[in-house]
Chain A
């Protein structure tokens, strides 16, 4: 098991190198940061000095090597726009995104899985059909539209919930949390629903499809023939067998939530890393964008590792090799 984790982490190194390279290569074309940073009346000499100071006069590969070498030491450079270390900027804003994404993910799982099971068991029920129609809306409506609609209804028309920001936050050294204040929770509701709705409906449809497949299987028929209670069959035997594909998708989706909550953060002016990225793209802030993409790559590598470990926990067939090696049973 330990060797497996180590090997997976080693495999992550080339992935990160390639992601960094591609990101850096692309950003050479997003615009000229120097022009954006300087005023209209700067001289050519001042301009050349800034280019040299930023290292932009060096060959591309040298720039990339410098960037990766510094990144290896936890240095992501200085933001062109805000003139502050990129790592500070990201870690300042990371808690907002993490809290938003996790809330959305928990919401999606807690609602999506039971709804999927329900629609599979009561396939022809009225409520199940209503869920299916609702899920179609969730899967097909774009996130920004859902966000704007929610703002319109709950913030503008009804005035129940705030339409932007995080509300009051409580700080613990490097982490700021909105979980401890009422205004923090109130601010979280609309963005979390906006971000989680698509995942919720996706999980629901996935669980439903897998459940329908499993409920037709011989071992479910045999469990019925042995007189096991319906509840034990549906939630014990059937649901567990749907978990492997569901874990795969959910893992990727949670990675996606953390990495690409950009649209939701923009709609709700949520002070997370997604909003930071959007603002940075506008002014070609290359260090921030590169660091962001590296972080996302690292995140996906980590999540995939966790997903693989969960497979082992769920499916005994995957554990067999290890057992044979160690001779335990």
Chain B
């Protein structure tokens, strides 16, 4: 069953030097309880997609086209205040840096209770009990004693657990996790990913997991979308994308991950850099760097075509 549908989403930033198109015709869907990984380089539009879905695009950025539907209901048009009951209740969000996402002046208990009471009609006592239960669930030891503690009294990993509790305490059906482990120690990263996996499975929460870490994707995601220059390059089941990538960009991305099994003299890399948003080439955005480029790629933009088990935006797969 489809929970979230993103259809032809286009996000633009008006600037003095003209309109910047940061997202261009992005379409995908997430089923109930499904984990969709979104990967890509910095600036590919991963986080922006998440921000657009939750209605928190930083002005002057705006949705210039396309639709976002949650349960078939459009959520891309309402104003900020109309979207408010959806945020936190239907769609939760986690951001990258747990050190800065908690308000330093309020105890974590207060922040939890405030969030819970915003969305659920609960008395102070019940809300507090629920807050303690969520802290226990995300693995804060001695939750009952720690509920009055302030963010600075927790380590980075513990704070990210609190952030997860805050994002999930009203039991949203979709969680947008924007680089949830990037700012953490490697040893803590695995714990947080395992925690996210367990919680979202237990509560049936769908996840859009934004990251540039293929390891995290392979570990946690059901399907994966690869983004490049504001467009989706390839989307499909995680196994197929990792093992038999169809799009030349995805192939390059996978090749550049060092492996312990195969000794290679030198890490492979994709030549060149992602184009700036002001200078996206006509046709396929990847064409200047693509090893398999041919004439059509430079003049015409490819749609997503079926390519084995995945779908890839590449003329190689035009049937």
A interface residues with partner B (beta carbon < 8 Å): 217-219, 221-230, 232, 237, 240-241, 314-317, 320, 329
A317 contacts B104, C-beta separation under 8 Å = yes
A residues in contact with B95, CB < 8 Å: 218, 221-222, 225
B residues in contact with A230, CB < 8 Å: 80-81, 84
B residues in contact with A241, CB < 8 Å: 103-105
Given A224, A226, A316, which contacts B166 in the complex, CB threshold below 8 Å? A226
A residues in contact with B103, CB < 8 Å: 219, 223, 237, 241
A226 contacts B105, C-beta separation under 8 Å = no
Per-residue contact bits, chain B 114-153, to A (CB 8 Å; 1 contact, 0 not)? 1100110000000000000000000000000100111011
> Do A314 and B100 form a contact, CB below 8 Å, given A228-B118, A229-B84?
no
Per-residue contact bits, chain B 155-171, to A (CB 8 Å; 1 contact, 0 not)? 00000000100110010
Given A217, A219, A329, which contacts B148 in the complex, CB threshold below 8 Å? A329
B residues in contact with A317, CB < 8 Å: 104, 150, 152
5 pairs of residues in contact across A and B, judged by CB atoms under 8 Å: A217-B100, A221-B56, A225-B56, A227-B115, A320-B152
B118 contacts A226, C-beta separation under 8 Å = yes
B residues in contact with A219, CB < 8 Å: 100-104
Q: How far is the CA of A225 from the CA of B90 in the complex (A)?
A: 11
> Do A222 and B101 form a contact, CB below 8 Å, given A227-B86, A230-B81, A329-B145?
yes
A240 contacts B167, C-beta separation under 8 Å = no
Q: A226-B88, A228-B114 are in contact. List 13 more A-B contacts (CB 8 A).
A: A218-B100, A222-B93, A222-B163, A223-B103, A225-B88, A226-B167, A226-B170, A227-B170, A232-B114, A315-B104, A316-B105, A320-B153, A329-B149
Task: Please count how many residues in chain B sit with their CB below 8 Å of the partner chain's CB atoms.
Answer: 36
CB distance from B231 to the nearest CB of A (A): 25
B residues in contact with A221, CB < 8 Å: 56, 95, 101
A residues in contact with B100, CB < 8 Å: 217-219
B85 at the binding interface (Cβ < 8 Å)? yes
The A interface is mostly helix, strand or loop, or mixed, namely helix
Max count, chain B CB within 10 A of own CB: residue among A217, A226, A240: A226
Q: How far is the CA of A219 from the CA of B110 in the complex (A)?
A: 14
B54 at the binding interface (Cβ < 8 Å)? yes
Q: How far is the CA of A225 from the CA of B106 in the complex (A)?
A: 17
A315 contacts B105, C-beta separation under 8 Å = yes
CB distance from A314 to the nearest CB of B (A): 7
B87 contacts A224, C-beta separation under 8 Å = yes
B89 contacts A227, C-beta separation under 8 Å = yes
Q: How far is the CA of A315 from the CA of B106 in the complex (A)?
A: 9
B92 at the binding interface (Cβ < 8 Å)? yes
Q: How far is the CA of A219 from the CA of B100 in the complex (A)?
A: 6
Q: Which residue of chain B has the shortest Cβ distance to A220 in the bound complex?
A: B103
B97 at the binding interface (Cβ < 8 Å)? yes
Q: Which residue of chain B has the shortest Cβ distance to A319 in the bound complex?
A: B150
Q: How far is the CA of A223 from the CA of B80 in the complex (A)?
A: 13
B residues in contact with A229, CB < 8 Å: 84, 118
Q: Which residue of chain A has the shortest Cβ distance to B145 in the bound complex?
A: A329
A residues in contact with B115, CB < 8 Å: 226-228
B residues in contact with A329, CB < 8 Å: 145, 148-149
CB distance from A277 to the nearest CB of B (A): 41
B163 contacts A226, C-beta separation under 8 Å = no
Query: Would you list which residues of chain B between 68 and 113 have a CB under 8 Å from chain A?
Result: 80-81, 84-89, 92-93, 95, 97, 100-107
A227 contacts B84, C-beta separation under 8 Å = yes
CB distance from A268 to the nearest CB of B (A): 41
A222 contacts B166, C-beta separation under 8 Å = yes
A residues in contact with B92, CB < 8 Å: 225-226
CB distance from B205 to the nearest CB of A (A): 15
Q: How far is the CA of A229 from the CA of B118 in the complex (A)?
A: 8
B residues in contact with A227, CB < 8 Å: 84-89, 115, 118-119, 170
Q: How far is the CA of A74 from the CA of B115 in the complex (A)?
A: 56
